[in-house]
Amino acid sequence: MPHISRWSKGIGAELPKEYKKFWKEWKLQQPAAVHYIKKEGIFERNEETEEIHLVQNVPLPLIYPKEIDDGIWGGEAIVQGFKKKGRFKRRVPHFWIPNLNKSVVYSEVLDTYMRVVITQRALRLIHENYGFDHYLLKWRNYTYCNIIDRYIKFFSLITYTPACDLRSLLTLKLKRQILIALADKTLYLNDPKKHTEVYAKYEQYLSAYTREEIEWYGLTYKEACKKWMKLNEKPPQPLKIQYRSELIAKLKENKIKEAENVNVVSPGEMSSWLNKLNPFSKSSKT
Partner 1 sequence: MLKFPRLLVNHVKALATPTSSSNADYLSQQTRIVKLFSYLFLFNFLQNTFILKRRNPVPLHKKNSKPHRLRSRNFIYDLVEDTNVKKKEPLDLILTQYVAGLGNVGTRVSLHPALAYPKLLLPKLADYATPENIEKYKKLAIDQENDKPFSSSLVEKTMKYLSHKRMSIVMSKDVPWTLEKWHIKANFRKAGIYLPEDTITMPEKPISGPNLDLQGKEFYVTITINNREQVKVRCCLHHWTSESSSQLRVNEFWKLPTDPIFPEDKPILDSLSPFWVERKKTTHF
- Which residues are near partner 1 by CB under 8 A? 32-38, 40-41, 53-54, 56, 58, 60-61, 76, 79-84, 91, 94, 96, 98-99, 103-104, 106, 113, 119-121, 123-125, 127-131, 140, 142, 147, 150-151, 154-155, 158
CB of 57 to partner 1, least distance (A): 9
CB of 177 to partner 1, least distance (A): 20
CB of 143 to partner 1, least distance (A): 9
Nearer to partner 1 by Cβ, of 91 and 211: the residue is: 91
Beta carbons within 8 Å of 168's beta carbon, 6+ residues apart = 68, 69, 70, 71, 72, 73
Nearer to partner 1 by Cβ, of 33 and 169: the residue is: 33
Q: Which long-range contacts (CB under 8 A, 24 or more apart) does 271-274 make?
A: none
Gap between the Cα atoms of 41 and 147, Å rounded: 8
Nearer to partner 1 by Cβ, of 126 and 172: the residue is: 126
Nearer to partner 1 by Cβ, of 36 and 64: the residue is: 36
Q: DSSP state, 62? A: E
CB of 113 to partner 1, least distance (A): 7
Identify residue 120 by its one-letter amino acid code: Q
CB of 76 to partner 1, least distance (A): 5
Helix (H, G, I), strand (E, B) or coil at 272: coil
Nearer to partner 1 by Cβ, of 29 and 103: the residue is: 103
Pairing of strands 100-107, 112-119: antiparallel
Nearer to partner 1 by Cβ, of 15 and 105: the residue is: 105
Nearest alpha carbon to residue 145 among 249, 1, 41, 25: 41
CB of 10 to partner 1, least distance (A): 28
CB of 127 to partner 1, least distance (A): 6
Beta carbons within 8 Å of 257's beta carbon, 6+ residues apart = none
Gap between the Cα atoms of 17 and 19, Å rounded: 5
Gap between the Cα atoms of 168 and 64, Å rounded: 9
Gap between the Cα atoms of 19 and 12, Å rounded: 10
Nearer to partner 1 by Cβ, of 81 and 267: the residue is: 81
Helix (H, G, I), strand (E, B) or coil at 201: helix
Helix (H, G, I), strand (E, B) or coil at 151: helix
For the residues of 70-102, what is the DSSP string, one character each? GEE-TT--EEEEEE--STTSPPEEEEE---EEE
